[in-house]
Chains A and B, each alone.
Chain A
């Protein structure tokens, strides 16, 4: 479903992605983990062209994401993206937040889109928040609205950029539960995360990044019990000790 071939990217003189290769098959869940500054967020943001790349290519269902000839809006409509900082639209209610892209991008009739938005919000435990504005919600609730907003487009693929990093600890679970449910439904997902337990539990593969490179790709049991690289051993020793 996603193929990343020899992708490189620099910000000025600093190379943040160094010839990255990665393949994510359909209905698989991949977690990208690693120390900060490793290029995890940059990598996931290149997957729907929120970041440009300087070399290589990324294919989603065979379509080149960064090709000038690709209709990027059409491609993005099929790829759900969830941000660390939610980025909900503060001037719209939760229902409007969820329904606006289907209405404007897919031309779904307003009534139908809002009906579906209410269903999605209810399924994420937000049945009583239809008329609320993002500013009236907790972080965990906002992130669930953001997940509903992404799902409203019926994406083939979901990308999560540190979805729980901006949350208070007691709100992390409700968001992870929502992602867990999605994984169980067979959604193809890439999740940048610092939640090791979560990555271990729901992911098919762990992608370990450091210094702009993918150092190791392995199933969770293998990665957490027997990491191959020194860099991964060092990282795990630091994050798992507390």
Chain B
């Protein structure tokens, strides 16, 4: 066993971990508003808007994340001078947003129609009804699937290594290539990923309990 490869390279590994956290957190931050926006478009009564949202969701869901990342890095990224770091964040955000949009749609549609009718019949606008009546109820229902989506996002972020973002996965890959110590490094990396996702799911568990109490 060559476990000493871990402490010897702990700086590199932690740097990679930090970059993974950074990219995942930023992608999460961007994908929530984009996803909520597309989810709202998806349930809009305007058919054109709804169909545009459906088109986006279907397209993104139908293309592998790896291909999206490569396309953004080599095509859009070249064109917009994005660089690998922002290409990675953009790719992850756009990809995750499609799934968040579907979760938001399901959440909104899980609120009985009578709630919107009651709110509208009291003179509230569509936006007011959404904000004060539909959203607060939908959020309780969407927290568990959102948690899964965020965890998937962290795990998917390992794919950004292909566009040469030096995240945890790429650090590990490079270390294995130079030290030939595969088992120890990949085991340690797996544990690190698990620590990240598990802390996040615990955090969302806390949120869920907070909203439950209110009911």
A207 to B137 Cα, complex, angstroms: 38
**Inter-chain contacts of A150 with B (CB < 8 A):** 122
Contact status B123-A74, CB under 8 Å: yes
Contact status A105-B117, CB under 8 Å: no
Instruction: Choose among B115, B128, B214 the residue that contacts A105 (Cβ–Cβ < 8 A).
Output: B128
Q: Does A91 contact B (CB under 8 A)?
A: yes
Q: Does B121 contact A (CB under 8 A)?
A: yes
Contact status B133-A89, CB under 8 Å: yes
Closest chain B residue, CB of each to CB of A85: B114
**Inter-chain contacts of A88 with B (CB < 8 A):** 118
Number of chain B interface residues as a range: 20 to 34
Contact status A135-B215, CB under 8 Å: yes
Q: Does A28 contact B (CB under 8 A)?
A: no
**Inter-chain contacts of A74 with B (CB < 8 A):** 123
Among A83-97, those with CB < 8 Å from B are 83, 85, 87-91
**Inter-chain contacts of A133 with B (CB < 8 A):** 215
Contact status A91-B122, CB under 8 Å: no
**Inter-chain contacts of A85 with B (CB < 8 A):** 114
Number of chain A interface residues as a range: 20 to 34
Contact status A77-B115, CB under 8 Å: no
Q: A89-B133, A133-B215 are in contact. Are A83 and B117 (CB under 8 A)?
A: yes
Contact status A153-B118, CB under 8 Å: no
Closest chain A residue, CB of each to CB of B120: A76
Closest chain A residue, CB of each to CB of B114: A87
**Inter-chain contacts of B119 with A (CB < 8 A):** 89, 101
Contact status A104-B215, CB under 8 Å: no
**Inter-chain contacts of A135 with B (CB < 8 A):** 215
Closest chain B residue, CB of each to CB of A102: B122
Q: Does A208 contact B (CB under 8 A)?
A: no
A19 to B128 Cα, complex, angstroms: 34
Report A's interface with B, CB cutoff 8 A. 48, 50, 73-74, 76-79, 81, 83, 85, 87-91, 100-101, 104-106, 133, 135, 149-150, 153
Report B's interface with A, CB cutoff 8 A. 112, 114-115, 117-125, 128, 132-133, 136-137, 140, 214-215
